[in-house]
Amino acid sequence: MIDAKTQATRRFGIHSEATDKAAPLQKVLQELYEGQLAIDPGNAYLVEHARPLCVENQIRTFHWYRPHIPVGGKVLDWGCNHAPDSCLLRSAYGNDLELFSCDFTSRQTYEVFHDFAQTSHTLLDDPFHLPYPANSFDVVIGSGVLEHTAQDYESLKELYRVLKPGGVVVISYLPNWLSFGEWVRRVVRRRDFHRRLYAMAEARQLLKRSGFYPLVEEYHTYFWERRLEAVGLVRWEQSLSRFMKCMFPIHKFSSTFRFIARKVDAM
């Protein structure tokens, strides 16, 4: 009898056809989520992130930072968890990038994703230190990671150490202290909220104190997205977001924001 992992591998062409650069990124992620959920159907985290809106956000974020990925470079997926960014990078670039990942979660927890991404994965055992030499990477990607670190400043200093001179750090899904959705989770539901929130100016200064000069900063993900998804109007989300930002400063109440910042020797 063929087990669920083998079925997923055969169905999605992992290690072969699905790594084709021409494969639509959305299809790649959707199939990986389906394959992992076939093995672990009760995983609420995966169910949440497999929603079409979440997948679209992941892909839009990927295209947002993609111009800063050097072909032939070394990329670290920091705090990767199920490594969707690594999967998108592998699908888009094939073997043209050297991909590394690290987390307190082992690769076996999300084997379907990690088998596809084929990163050099390290299981972390220290809250700050990363087991890599100084000046190792061209890019470090931290997707929804910084807010969960024990000490954000110390963690950024470690990213500074492992990045090459002029290297780039990508910080996305950083929770906004003015987020309406965060307020609902914290005050009304009293569950599933972030313990640490950030203001845009605070995060900008934190990056600068850590040796990073912000190149791009944007508000990201909005509280009305979930409602549009519920009524089947996801395709109107980007147009509505642009309209709302033009008419009102409502974007400042977005759920998250994101940065691309460069390692510098001096400010």
CB neighbourhood size of 56 (10 A) = 18
Task: Please spell the DSSP secondary structure of 115-182, one letter per residue.
Answer: HHH--EEEE--SSS--SS-TT-EEEEEEES-GGGSS-HHHHHHHHHHHEEEEEEEEEEEEEBTT-HHH
The separation between CA 6 and the C-alpha centre of its own chain, rounded to angstroms, equals 27
Q: What confidence score (pLDDT) does residue 243 get?
A: 59
Number of H helices, E strands in the chain: 11, 7
Q: Within 13 Å of residue 243, how many CA atoms lie on the same side as its CB?
A: 6
Class of domain 53-79+124-263: alpha beta
Q: What confidence score (pLDDT) does residue 230 get?
A: 46
Q: What confidence score (pLDDT) does residue 222 get?
A: 58
User: What SS3 class is residue 15?
Assistant: coil
Q: What confidence score (pLDDT) does residue 17 get?
A: 39
- Answer yes or no: are the C-beta atoms of 41 and 69 closer than 8 Å: no
- Strand order through the sheet with 120-123: 120-123, 98-103, 74-78, 137-143, 163-175, 256-263, 212-220
What pTM was estimated for this model as a whole?
0.82
- Distances in Å between the Cα of 235 and the Cα atoms of 29, 77, 228, 240 are 18, 29, 9, 10
Q: What confidence score (pLDDT) does residue 168 get?
A: 98
- Could you tell me how many residues make up the chain? 267
pLDDT by 10-residue block (mean), the chain, 267 residues: 42 39 77 96 93 89 95 96 97 96 96 98 96 98 96 97 98 90 81 87 97 94 51 51 60 86 95
The H or E element containing residue 204 is helix 200-209
Query: Can you give the residue ranges of every domain in the chain?
Result: 53-79+124-263
For residue 7, give both structure tokens.
């079925």
DSSP 255: S
DSSP 212: E
CB neighbourhood size of 157 (10 A) = 14
The separation between CA 235 and the C-alpha centre of its own chain, rounded to angstroms, equals 22
